[in-house]
């Protein structure tokens, strides 16, 4: 759909590396959490206290903590086993359902009676967090449950290639559990990646890779790391002290630094825009672990992880980097073709625009032969919104709707022509006969169709009006029709 242009040798090699991640397998052990996001609008201050009143529009729940590492692995297509503990509460049930609903996951979520499932609820308005409310029990899990978890882990280690310890200090990886898991992995000839917490990294001794951020490295070593050289020295000291194979330091806007016995590599930050850093560390851990499991050099895994982190910080909320996202990021700059994206990417971009206060519009059609009538409709649509997304029927969809001789132009060509227009901000191809599902994903504020329809005839109009949007009918230019143009061409 996006066209195929020659890639540089480096890009080609990295693209093959990305595709190899689905042939890996990873075991994740750690603290599962439930992340809730409550989105709304603030238009007034409460009369009860000097606090904003959030008018809630929608709520979203997703796995967080170690569960977000799993989300990132499944986004890459990497088969994943997940071992954690939840409480016997509604949040635990919700989290179990969310994990179990992901493709490619073998979940082992053990339940501890009387324990609260860690839940973080973020209240967001106009793209800004107003408040975060946490429910948690950071106490170590029950000893009998810990022994059961270790027995399951030993069996699962043999069936996977790399183990990730995702430690959020919420009780799952308390005491000697990390050391026992690392020992079991080493005995089975498997590698271990650790996303660490706390000051005592001795509990992770012998791991093949640890991934502290800059502040965690400073706290763990007690050293000043103001300069790049000081950071490298601290990471090398940590590596030698605890027998780590390597240390990958995430450095926010400064990228990442990989410190190994045979050298140091710096990876500049890849993010063109930063909207939300939530979960970026989980993305790094997931990608580098999948790369190690696929047998890729650690340097390649670190570079892919750096690219993936740049992708997720450009998204809203606790996001993931999918295989297609990373492959797109590896492609050479292709001008307006960058506007042609998958439906999932379109939905995420629309959400980013909304969070920045932009009014998102949507229209759709076959656009087989672009004519002045189309241009006039798109100009009107863009005048009613700040950002316009255009849905384009796929080739198969056009054939079903218009007959076997259509389309005249393929979907890639039709999408490219639309993307070249200044009035169009994003183009997404859809396979169905109607754009209903794409509209559900985009959630436009305004839906535009030609005035040859009535408002109640516009597909998806009822959905848009349900969430407070509006339907607009664009004026038509008489005498412009793709079908008539095709007929004239044929004589």
Residues with catalytic function = 282
Helix (H/G/I), strand (E/B), else coil: 365: strand
What lies within 8 Å, CB to CB, of 14 at 6+ separation is 300, 303, 304, 330
Ligand-binding annotation for 214, yes or no, is yes
Among the residues of 23-111, which ranges form H helices? 66-75, 90-100
Q: Please answer whether residues 330 and 18 qualify as being in contact, where contact means their C-beta atoms are separated by less than 8 angstroms.
A: yes
Tokens of 195: 């996303």
On whether 68 is known to bind a ligand per the annotation, the reply is no
Distance, CA of 115 to chain centre: 29
406 is known to lie in a ligand binding site? no
For every residue of 117-158, which 3-state class applies, written as one string?
A: CCEEEEEEECCEEEEEEEECCCCCCCHHHHHHHHHHHHHHHC
Q: Using alpha carbons, select from 76, 85, 97 the residue that is nearest to residue 21.
A: 76
DSSP per-residue letters across 248-274:
EEE-GGG-EEEEETTEEEEE----SS-
290 membership: H or E segment, kind and range: helix 280-293
356 is known to lie in a ligand binding site:
no
Q: Is 210 helix (H, G, I), strand (E, B) or coil?
A: strand
Residue list, annotated binding site for ATP: 213-216
Residue list, annotated binding site: 213-216
């Amino acid at each position: 759909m996006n066209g195929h242009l020659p890639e540089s040798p480096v890009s080609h090699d990295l693209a093959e590396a990305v595709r190899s991640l689905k042939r890996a397998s990873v075991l994740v052990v750690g603290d599962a959490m439930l992340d809730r996001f409550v989105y709304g609008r603030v238009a007034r201050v409460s009369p009860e206290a000097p606090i904003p009143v959030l008018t809630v529009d929608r709520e979203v729940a997703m796995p967080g903590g170690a569960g977000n590492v799993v989300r990132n692995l499944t986004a890459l297509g990497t088969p994943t086993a997940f071992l954690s503990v939840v409480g016997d509460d509604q949040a635990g049930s919700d989290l179990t359902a969310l994990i179990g609903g992901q493709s490619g996951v073998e979940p082992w979520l053990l339940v501890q009676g009387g324990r609260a499932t860690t839940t973080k609820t973020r209240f967001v308005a106009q793209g800004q967090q107003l408040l975060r409310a946490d429910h948690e029990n950071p106490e170590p899990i029950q000893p009998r449950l810990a022994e059961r978890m270790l027995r399951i882990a030993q069996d699962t280690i043999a069936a996977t290639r790399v183990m990730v310890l995702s430690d959020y200090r919420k009780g799952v990886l308390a005491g000697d559990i990390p050391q026992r898991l690392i020992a079991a992995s080493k005995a089975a000839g498997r590698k271990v990646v650790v996303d660490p917490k706390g000051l005592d990294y001795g509990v992770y001794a012998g791991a093949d890779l640890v991934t502290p951020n800059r502040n965690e490295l400073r706290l763990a070593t007690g050293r000043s790391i103001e300069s790049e050289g000081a950071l490298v020295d601290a990471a090398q000291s940590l590596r030698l002290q605890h027998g780590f194979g390597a240390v990958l330091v995430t450095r926010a806007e400064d990228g990442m630094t990989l410190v190994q016995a045979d050298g140091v590599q710096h990876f500049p930050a890849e993010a063109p825009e930063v909207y939300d850093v939530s979960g970026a560390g989980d993305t790094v851990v997931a990608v580098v672990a999948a790369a190690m499991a696929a047998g890729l050099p650690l340097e390649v895994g670190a570079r892919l992880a750096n690219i993936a982190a740049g992708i997720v910080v450009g998204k809203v909320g606790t996001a993931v980097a999918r295989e297609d996202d990373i492959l797109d990021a590896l492609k050479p700059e292709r001008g307006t073709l960058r506007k042609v994206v998958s439906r999932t990417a379109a939905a995420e971009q629309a959400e980013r625009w909304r969070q920045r206060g932009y009014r998102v519009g949507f229209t759709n059609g076959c656009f087989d032969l672009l004519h002045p009538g189309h241009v006039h409709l798109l100009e009107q649509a863009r005048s009613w919104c700040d950002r316009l997304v255009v849905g384009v029927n796929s080739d198969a969809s056009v054939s079903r709707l218009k007959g076997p001789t259509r389309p005249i132009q393929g979907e890639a060509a039709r999408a490219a022509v639309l993307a070249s227009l200044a009035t169009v901000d994003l183009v997404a191809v859809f396979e169905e006969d109607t754009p209903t599902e794409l509209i559900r994903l985009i959630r436009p504020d305004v839906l535009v169709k030609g005035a040859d329809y009535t408002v109640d005839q516009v597909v998806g109009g009822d959905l848009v009006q349900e969430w407070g949007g509006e339907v607009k009918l664009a004026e038509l230019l008489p005498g412009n029709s793709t079908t008539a143009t095709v007929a004239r061409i044929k004589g």
